[in-house]
Amino acid sequence: MKILIVDDDATNRLVLGAYLKKDGFNIVSANNGQTAVDLFQSEAPDLILMDIMMPVMDGYESTIKIKSLSGERFIPIIFLTAMTDENALTRCVEVGGDDFLTKPYNRTILKAKIDALERVSELYNTNQQQKQEIIARREIEIQEQEVARRVFDSILSPGCLSSSDNIQLHLSPMSLFNGDVVLAAVKPMGGLNILFGDFTGHGLAASLGALPVSNVFYTMTAKGYSIADIVSEVNRKLKSQLPVGMFLAACLVEIDTSNNVIKYWNGAIPAAYLMQENSRIELKSKNLPLGILGDNSFSNQLDLIEIHNNDKIVLSTDGILEAENKQGAMFGVERFLECLNVEFIKNDQEKEKPDLFDHILENMNIFVDGFEQTDDVTLAVINCDIDYINQLSSDRENSKKFIPSHWDFEMCFYYDAIKSVDPVPLINQILREIQGHRIQQDKLSTILSELFCNSLDHGLLRLDSKTKSTPEGFMQFYADKELRLKELDEGFIRISIKNTPIKNGGDLSIIFEDSGPGFDTSKLGKTNIQLPDTDKPVAFSGRGILLINNYCQSISYNEKGNRVECVYHWSNSDHAD
């Protein structure tokens, strides 16, 4: 241990130096305060014995400068003084002195004080070292979390939800990681799928659950699966991967621009509404959150509501409803619904109607008045602008072009596979991988769906379309279909697709053949049948054949009637097929 002795009296320095050298200390001496400051910087002593009254610079001023130079390091300073004045001793402590020793010196007391301050110094410096290590590790942890957050944000990108004023989104996580998840993707046949969810808990643990959800949602949407299939697979994935007690409250919405409807499944999202011109429709939760029930108990049944251009869908996690102010009161459902009523205000020439999204957030912020956030807060307002949503699909198709090429493939599904596999999304995925998005337009998906349904319903299950002539019969038809499908124990459907490239596109030959008894094709009459006026109600049956006839360049049946071949023309440069 190196000790700096500061005293203008040479005898005192020699006596103290002799004492301390016998005890094994390394000694450095200074005859005034200024020299002490200089030696402190050059010699870095571990402890200082400081006289008070000295020329050039006294002990008080020297101590102040040394303490400022020592930074985070603890350098004990013992004042050497013959003064017993209370004010003088108080001054020693005020300027940074850690102890004092009155003259004449007692060697035993001096050694005891040095040993005591050495222990204090070691504890202090160890504490400072550990503090710096903690700070360094914390900085590394923050950097790693920031990298992880960027990766999460990339994987869990809300996609087209943040691309336009038509879709407004507010995400405010309670911590670095967000337990809320918002995903959106354009469907291959047009329209939009949205998943809006809230995991139990907050932070990293809650965010981890969103990774499998994102993968399932985007992959299955790209392949053309319905949200009923998507919600079933998400539930299955979370049930198998999440720990007990962790689940996802979620609302999945499909905006179907072909039929101007929304289909939705709500499992415990409390604030979901469809805002129409003169009404507010609650998208009620009828299910438990995802990740709780097994396949046998889980229901993927969807609800359907007709929509009009510029209707709005409002989705919010409970972070808004449960936002608290300083008095402990919650924002609550009543205040939230009151905010929604702004949509029913008529435009005033003197005053513009408030924007619904901004109005909700503004009222919540006024209510909480800066009080600390206690949950992740997420809000989305989606304008059902049919033209805009269709444009999203068009923009995605334009993002990548494929050169038309020669190819063909064949699939055969037997009765047991047909019970659990929908081949249409699978075929859509194959076509997209081979020829890009252009070939997966809504008309082609409709053709494939109708041909498969005809082969299954009338070929293998032998159901009669006339049953669907009334709303009651329509429901009975699908009840009979479900029963017969369960009992199906033989049969197959073979699907063959071949592409012949032409300029900017191709002619797609689509063949569906089933093992059923077929039908009398002469009853079909002419194939060039026009669809009925869209302003008139369409019958519950017969619409599929009309669509196929109008979408395809040709359609032909074999003599038995269990094999149909359609030719569909697709273009890489023209949306009008």
Q: What is the pLDDT of residues 157-197, one digit of tens each?
A: 555 555 556 788 888 776 656 678 888 888 876 788 999 98
Residue 489 resides in a domain: yes
Q: Which of 359, 376, 393 is the last residue of a domain?
A: 393
Reference 439, options 555, 552, 572; nearest CA is 572
Q: How far is the CA of 99 from the CAs of 31, 77, 80, 81, 89, in angstroms?
A: 20, 7, 9, 11, 9
Asked whether residue 136 is assigned to any structural domain, the reply reads no
Contact 525, 508 (CB under 8 A): no
Question: Domain of 111: which CATH number?
Answer: 3.40.50.2300
pLDDT of residue 535: 43
User: Is 463 in the same domain as 521?
Assistant: yes
The pLDDT assigned to 427 comes to: 87
List Cβ neighbours of 258 (8 Å cut-off, separation of 6 or more): 189, 190, 191, 442, 446
Residue 135 maps to a domain: no
Specify the DSSP element, H or E, that contains 86: helix 86-94
Whether the predicted pLDDT of 534 surpasses 50: no
Q: What is the mean pLDDT of residues 562-567?
A: 94
Q: Is residue 365 part of a domain?
A: yes
- Same domain? 293 vs 313: yes
pTM of the predicted protein model: 0.58
Q: What is the pLDDT of residue 493?
A: 96
Among 112, 127, 142, identify where a domain stops.
Answer: 127
Q: Give the tokens for residue 545.
A: 């054949």
Query: Encoding tokens for residue 146?
Result: 């920031």
Q: Are residues 35 and 165 in the same domain?
A: no
Edge-to-edge order in the sheet of strand 563-571: 407-414, 492-502, 505-514, 563-571, 554-557
Residue 537 has pLDDT above 60, yes or no: no
Burial-class residue 6 by CB neighbours within 10 Å (0-12, 13-18, 19+). buried
CATH number, domain containing residue 498: 3.30.565.10
Q: Which domain holds residue 67?
A: 2-127
User: CA 228 to CA 398: how far, in whole Å?
Assistant: 28
| Number of separate domains in the chain | 3
Same domain, 191 and 82: no
Asked if 338 and 434 sit in the same domain, the reply is no
Give the end of a domain, one of 360, 393, 426: 393
Determine which of 8-17, 79-88, 419-428 has the lowest per-residue pLDDT on average: 79-88
Please, which pLDDT band fits residue 202 given cuts at 50, 70 and 90? low
Residues 340 and 387 in one domain: yes
pLDDT digits (tens, 9 = 90+) for 208-227: 778 888 889 988 888 778 89
Q: In this model, does residue 540 exceed pLDDT 50?
A: no
Do 301 and 382 belong together in one domain? yes
Do 306 and 177 fall within a single domain? yes
Q: Is the same domain home to 388 and 455? A: no
pLDDT, tens digit, 9 for 90 and up, residues 123-154: 888 888 888 888 888 787 667 666 655 665 56
**Residue 226 and residue 208 in one domain:** yes
Q: Do 183 and 122 lie in a common domain? A: no
- Would you give the DSSP letter of residue 512? E
Residue 538: its pLDDT value, please? 40
133 lies in some domain: no
Residue 536 has pLDDT above 60, yes or no: no
Residue recorded with tokens 């049946």: 557
Exposure string of 206-228, with b = 16+ CB inside 10 Å and e = fewer, is bbbbbebbbebbbebbbbbbbbb
**Claim to verify: residue 368 and residue 414 sit in the same structural domain:** no
- What CATH number is attached to the domain comprising 238? 3.60.40.10
Q: Specify if 460 maps to a domain.
A: yes
Contact 216, 230 (CB under 8 A): yes
